[in-house]
Amino acid sequence: MNKSFNKGKKIITWLYIIGLLGMISILVVIGVTKQEKNHIEKESTYQNISSLWTLDKAGTQPVDVKKLGEYMDEKTGVLSIYYQLPQMDADISLVYRSKDVYTRVLVDGETIYETSVYESDLYNKSPGNLWNILTINSKYSSKCLEMQIIMVYDTSAVTVDSLLFGDKADIILGIFKENMFGIVVSLLLILTGAVLIGVDFLPSYGRAKKNHSILWVGVFAVLTGVWCLIETNVLQFYFKDMRILQLIDNMLMIVDAMPVLMYIDSEYRIFKYRGMRILGYIHAGYALLCIALQYSGIIDLHNMLNGAHLIMLVTDCILFVWVCYMLIRLKKENKPILNCVLQISGIISLWIFGIFESLRSLHVDRMDRAGLVRVGMLILCLCLAVSSQLETYKIVEQGLKYDLISKLAYSDGLTGLGNRTAYLEQLEEYGRNEKDIIQLGIVYLDVNNLKTVNDNQGHEFGDDLITIAAKIIKDSFGHYGKSYRIGGDEFCVLMTGADIKENYEKGLAVFRQLIDEANKADWYTFEVQIAHGFAVCGEFTHDKIDEAIAFADSEMYQNKMELKMMNDKNSETL
């Protein structure tokens, strides 16, 4: 069962990844193939004239713009509504939102505006959810304005609302003020998701081998936040190609259920059950089906949203049922239930806000479909994140302790260089390197007269000598390799690369200079002498490395004898 579980989870994960990549591929293809017809200059208006339109030019049959689908002639797929323009002394702007319809505005049979969008074979059939903005010349003062609405899908999808007339600056500001709450909540969702994803990639968190539930909550929050932000209808003022927003909106609704399912599995390992794996296949397969249909042009993503909504509903119900089951089980076992309580609270809050929004939108296609749902989404994401991360602080603390212990285990406490353990493990790693053969340079070093300094001046001064020697080694040879203290007064530098000998000579020149400077300093009560030896290993086998080490050690010993003879000669001279 474990084998089937792991295989099933891997397949579902990869199918979902392929689905996301497929969605992205549609956007990429559109970016390459789209053609610009006409750029619509965005202007705005101030007065809401939605209630002043009629079904006839005479103005005797008022029209409810909230129910335009009821007036639509399904045979022709075209509906005309009229508005009597007031007396105008200057040009005035008309702005209105249309959704899933094309529109054309006429005065005396003359077209003064029509929906103009980018074209691509991969776009949905409709122009999407967009602000239509046009300037009405003062020469049309007191004339009758006709708006033709061309249906794309069916009468239930016919929407033209927020018909605004007047000054553009005021209405743009007004739209932003009206949607500020939705914008802020949407951005909070995105920010929350980004933080959660970042937490999942913390080294200490990953080292604790915690499940990736926080990652999937983060992905869900980001996807939901972007969808909610698009639904505020303010991004349309910044996007030249507004149809791309409609496509992204549809994509997000189709794939948004998958992170929730992956979260449930991360928390409760539901994919170990065959039925749940089948559900995962359906989730991922539906996204792939949508991509295939969009590419083929048979059905666009808009027509696949009902299936996406059903999948999300089923996923939410599964989450709720599973959490309730775990709550009952934990309560019977007298185990902590806070995780489950938080998860249930998040789900219920989403449902409550969702029901509220459904009631508000029962008879009207609201401009902002996310509405109160985004608040429920934010609460859900926060509850899921907190519930799955009650031990995060403990995990991070354990990870930091691990980092500290690891550092202590592989670092020399006095000098900060790598210790003998780190040195031996590095050699072992080099010895296993069979494919990428490079040169290895070994510099062996030994600090002279450490025992004399310890005996005559005390161990504190001996530690100072070791510290100074370590700094000299690090500042010279350490620029070309890794430095280690492998004994009381013994050091080693392991150098790799193409120009080993050249780098050694450069490091040696600096090494000698730093020793001279140290011995000229007035504050040292001892002389700094460091013997050195060097060898190059051309083959990364244990035997060849051992031979190179022995040669470098021999060279160092020879240099140590030379330094001792030099000291003896200087003593005789004195």
Q: Are residues 10 and 51 in the same domain?
A: no
Q: Are residues 389 and 437 in the same domain?
A: no
Q: Are residues 217 and 357 in the same domain?
A: yes
Return d(Cα 461, Cα 464) in angstroms, integer: 5
Is 231 inside any structural domain?
Answer: yes
Structure tokens at 56: 């006839």
Domain boundary among 336, 369, 395: 395
Q: Which residues pair with 35 in a beta bridge?
A: 119
Domain boundary among 362, 395, 428: 395
Q: Are residues 150 and 206 in the same domain?
A: no
367: domain CATH number is 1.20.1070
Q: Are residues 371 and 476 in the same domain?
A: no
Return the closest-CA partner of residue 357 out of 371, 367, 377. Answer: 371
Q: Are residues 100 and 217 in the same domain?
A: no
Quote the number of domains for the chain: 3
> 118-143 burial by CB neighbour count: b if 16+ within 10 A, else e?
bebebbbebbbbbbbbbebeeebeee
Q: Are residues 222 and 369 in the same domain?
A: yes
Q: Stretch 84-106: mean pLDDT, rounded? A: 88
76: domain CATH number is 2.60.120
Give residue 41's pLDDT.
Answer: 42
Return d(Cα 2, Cα 5) in angstroms, integer: 5
Q: Tell me: the pLDDT tens digits for 541-556?
A: 778 888 889 999 999 9
Domain boundary among 351, 368, 395: 395
Counted residue by residue, the chain has a size of 574
Is 406 inside any structural domain?
Answer: no
Q: Tell me: the pLDDT tens digits for 31-47?
A: 656 565 554 444 444 68
Is 173 inside any structural domain?
Answer: no
Q: Residues 444, 549: contact at Cβ < 8 Å?
A: yes
Q: Tell me: the pLDDT tens digits for 331-355?
A: 887 877 777 787 888 888 777 877 7
Return d(Cα 108, Cα 136) in angstroms, integer: 13
Model confidence band, residue 207 (pLDDT cutoffs 50, 70, 90):
very low
Structure tokens at 296: 């083929």
Give residue 375's pLDDT.
Answer: 81
Q: Tell me: the pLDDT tens digits for 269-317?
A: 888 888 888 888 988 898 899 888 888 888 888 888 888 888 888 888 8
Is 172 inside any structural domain?
Answer: no
Neighbours of 486 (CB within 10 A): 18
Q: Residues 288, 18: contact at Cβ < 8 Å?
A: yes
Q: Are residues 428 and 539 in the same domain?
A: yes
Q: Are residues 52 and 150 in the same domain?
A: yes
Q: Are residues 198 and 306 in the same domain?
A: yes
The more confident residue out of 406 and 376 is 376
Is 400 inside any structural domain?
Answer: no
Q: Residues 15, 284: contact at Cβ < 8 Å?
A: yes
Q: Which residues pair with 105 in a beta bridge?
A: 113, 147
| % of the chain at pLDDT higher than 70 | 82
Q: Are residues 203 and 71 in the same domain?
A: no
Q: Are residues 245 and 368 in the same domain?
A: yes
Is 401 inside any structural domain?
Answer: no
Neighbours of 561 (CB within 10 A): 11
Q: Report helix, strand or coil for 499.
A: coil
In the block, tokens 């500001």 appear at: 173
pTM exceeding the 0.85 threshold for the entire prediction: no
- Give one DSSP letter per residue of 292-321, joined into a string: HHHHHTSS-GGGGHHHHHHHHHHHHHHHHH
Q: CB burial class (10 A; 0-12, 13-18, 19+) of residue 25?
A: middle
Give residue 205's pLDDT.
Answer: 53
Return d(Cα 383, Cα 338) in angstroms, integer: 11
Is 174 inside any structural domain?
Answer: no
Is 244 inside any structural domain?
Answer: yes
- Beta strand extents in 3-126 (DSSP E only): 47-48, 78-84, 92-99, 101-107, 110-114
Return d(Cα 67, Cα 72) in angstroms, integer: 9
Q: Residues 17, 138: contact at Cβ < 8 Å?
A: no
Return d(Cα 40, Cα 11) in angstroms, integer: 45
In the block, tokens 């709720």 appear at: 320
- Identity of the highest mean pLDDT range in 68-72, 233-237, 331-335, 566-570: 68-72
Q: Which domain holds residue 112?
A: 47-166
547: domain CATH number is 3.30.70.270
Model confidence band, residue 206 (pLDDT cutoffs 50, 70, 90):
low
5 contacts: CB under 8 Å, gap ≥ 6: 269, 271, 272, 277
Q: Which of 143-147, 155-159, 530-534 has the lowest mean pLDDT?
A: 155-159
Enter the DSSP assignment of 71: T
Give residue 78's pLDDT.
Answer: 92
